Every structure is written in structure tokens, then in C-alpha cells.
A and B are shown apart, each in its own frame.
Chain A
Amino acid sequence: MYAWIWHHLPGPTAARLGLSFVLFLGVVALLFFVVFPWLEPYLPFDRVTTG
């Protein structure tokens, strides 16, 4: 998977490194702002009320 991505990134190695980092940041942002907020209520970590 990662090898496939690497081979399909354009440009020299430095550019590929930079693009990889940008892709990584994009995935992290997707997780932090979309996936995790959606997932959170289903996980047994922070229910603080009684009843």
C-alpha cells in the first residue's frame, strides 16, 4: 500500500517526502475532526453522568 503510494507520487525524492507528509497531515486531520468525534460516543471512556 505504502510502496504503491510512493511510486505514484510525482517528482524527485524530496518532493515525494514533502507530499507524503502533507498526505499524512490530511489523514490526521480527517481522523481528528471527523472520524474520532463520530466514534467517541460509542467507546467506554468518558460517560460521566449517573442514571
Chain B
Amino acid sequence: MTATAPGPTRRGVGRSLIRGFGELLITLGVVVLLFVVYEVYVTDLFGERKQAAATTAVDRVWAQSQETATVVAQAPQEMATDPQQRVPTYDTVLGEGFAKLRIPVLGADYVFTVVEGTEPDDLYIGPGHYSQTQLPGEQGNFAVAGHRVSKGSPFNDLGLLSSCDAIVVETRDDWFVYRVLPMAEEEAVWASTPRPHCNGVQVQTGAYTGVYGREITVPADYAQVLPVPTVLSTTVPPDAQRLITLTTCHPQFSDAERMIIHGVLVASYAKAPGYLPPELTET
């Protein structure tokens, strides 16, 4: 190489310092832009791969435990079960899938494998179950957290849910159908307005007064995931309802607040090969 780099002595130290500072600022700007790309797109790709692996794993576990059914019932009323008789017989392992969450109004392909735990590593895989809360179908609160933007973005569209929309949870042995509770603004006219799909969905009273389908709250509001979402206690009262709670960050692209979705169990079905609950076809 014959060319020599122009040294600072030729152009002055001040000049190269200023130029270096300018380059540094431009570089930082590019790094910030790259971080946005990473957060909004790249983590989605990573998250989808982790989610696919978790789904494969839970499918394998369920396939092993599935009984070979000789009679396949297809009428929903024949498949309906009493949730009180259904006791979870499976164990959950932190970071591993144990249930599938479907929300038909968000699309027929909206299905996520729910993993145990709400640590960042768990939530990278998919929606994560708050370990201290109840399991699907149980009395109390089946609470699940999920990312709104990034990491597969499972809960990006929770803001689109309306009252009575179905949230269907599949476990190893059961289908549990929850429906979103009435919204705060619907409370006054709830009884006087006929609504489809709203059997079993009531404006909440008693200890549950003030529990709505969607709430925006502060990050410290831990009671939202507890058995009675207005009471800061992990005790499940004997007359407790069977709720589902979904939590995500709010507003979008921020985590200053939390969006909470509450639903109540309205139906449960036995699992059988080829049987899908009728609620899955609601749009």
C-alpha cells in the first residue's frame, strides 16, 4: 500500500475530534434504529421458533396420554362436562407448555401454547401462566401474561376483544370455554340489551363488583391475577368463580400500564379425537 492516511497533524486535532464525535452520534442513531428492528421484528422470529418447539413438545405429551376412543361423539351437548368434576391430573414444569389458548374472534389460526411461569425466558416462548394462580377450569383465577409487542406478540390484539368473546383453553384432558366479562361502559345497559353468546356472562356483584372485561391498571395491581381480582389474597373462597385473566403491557410499545382481560368459565367439554368445541367457529 502506498497511500498513507492523513494524520491529525495535517488537518488539526480539533477537526478530527469533531468529525469523530459526529460519526459517533450517527453510529448511535443507527444502533437505536437497529434496536427498534430487533425489538419489533427479530424477537418475533426468535419467539415464533421457541413457540413452535413448545407446541411440538406439548403435542407429544398429549399424544402419549390420549386414550384410544372407540366411540367418537360429536354433539357438543354429549361432550359437555361439569367443571366441578374436572380436576387437573397433569403437572406443570416451568418453561414448558401445558395448555393451548385459542381466541376465535382473533382468527381461526389464533392458537398459542401456554407455558408455566412468567419470567422473561418463559414469556419469550409464549403466554406464561402465573405459577401462583389456578390451573384452567379450577375455581379461582387462571392468570396468563403475554407480550403485546415483540417475542411473538401473542397478546397484541387483546384491545380488540369485546364482552362475551370466547377464550378457549385446551388442556391435556379438557376444553374450557371462557367468555369475556361485561365492559365497564356496558354495565348499566347489560340486562336490557340482548346479546348473542352471552349465556353465563353477568355483570359482577358482591366481592367481584368492579371486575370488568377489560381494565387498564397500574403495574403494581397484583390482585388482578388473584382468585378474586379485587382482593389482595391468594385464598380461594369456597364460592369463588372460575375466572381467566390475561395481562399484557399498555399502551402499545410501552409498559407504563397494564391491560387486563377478565373472563368467566361458561362451558367445558371432554376431549375426543376429531372433536372441536362449537365456540371455536365463532367470529
B23 touches A46 (CB 8 A): no
Q: How many residues of B contact A (CB 8 A)?
A: 41
The digit string for A2-15, where 1 denotes a CB below 8 A from any CB of B, is 11100110100000
Interface of chain A, main secondary structure: helix
A32 touches B255 (CB 8 A): no
Contact A4 B155, CB 8 Å, known A48-B247, A48-B258, A51-B225: no
A47 touches B20 (CB 8 A): no
Contact of B38 among A2, A4, A32, A47 (CB under 8 A): A32
Contact A3 B5, CB 8 Å, known A46-B249, A49-B130: yes
B255 touches A51 (CB 8 A): no
CB distance from A20 to the nearest CB of B (A): 14
A14 vs B150: C-alpha distance when bound (angstroms): 38
B219 touches A4 (CB 8 A): no
- B255: nearest residue on chain A (CB-CB)? A47
Cβ-based interface call for A31 (8 A): yes
The digit string for B220-249, where 1 denotes a CB below 8 A from any CB of A, is 111011000000000000000000000111
CB distance from B168 to the nearest CB of A (A): 21
B147 touches A2 (CB 8 A): no
Identify which of residues 1-50 in chain B touch chain A, using a CB-to-CB cut-off of 8 Å. Answer: 1, 3, 5, 19-20, 23-24, 31, 34-35, 38-39, 42
Contact A47 B247, CB 8 Å, known A1-B23, A3-B5: no
- B224: nearest residue on chain A (CB-CB)? A50
- B146: nearest residue on chain A (CB-CB)? A48
A49 touches B118 (CB 8 A): yes
B24 touches A1 (CB 8 A): yes
In the complex, which residues of chain A have a beta carbon less than 8 angstroms from the beta carbon of B120?
A: 40-41
Contact A48 B224, CB 8 Å, known A1-B24, A2-B23, A31-B38: no
A51 vs B143: C-alpha distance when bound (angstroms): 12
The digit string for B252-263, where 1 denotes a CB below 8 A from any CB of A, is 011110101000
Cβ-based interface call for B217 (8 A): yes
Cβ-based interface call for B151 (8 A): yes
B258 touches A7 (CB 8 A): no
5 contacts between A and B (CB under 8 A): A1-B23, A31-B38, A32-B42, A48-B248, A51-B222
**Contact residues of B with A, CB < 8 Å?**
1, 3, 5, 19-20, 23-24, 31, 34-35, 38-39, 42, 118, 120, 123, 130, 145-151, 155, 217, 219-222, 224-225, 247-249, 253-256, 258, 260
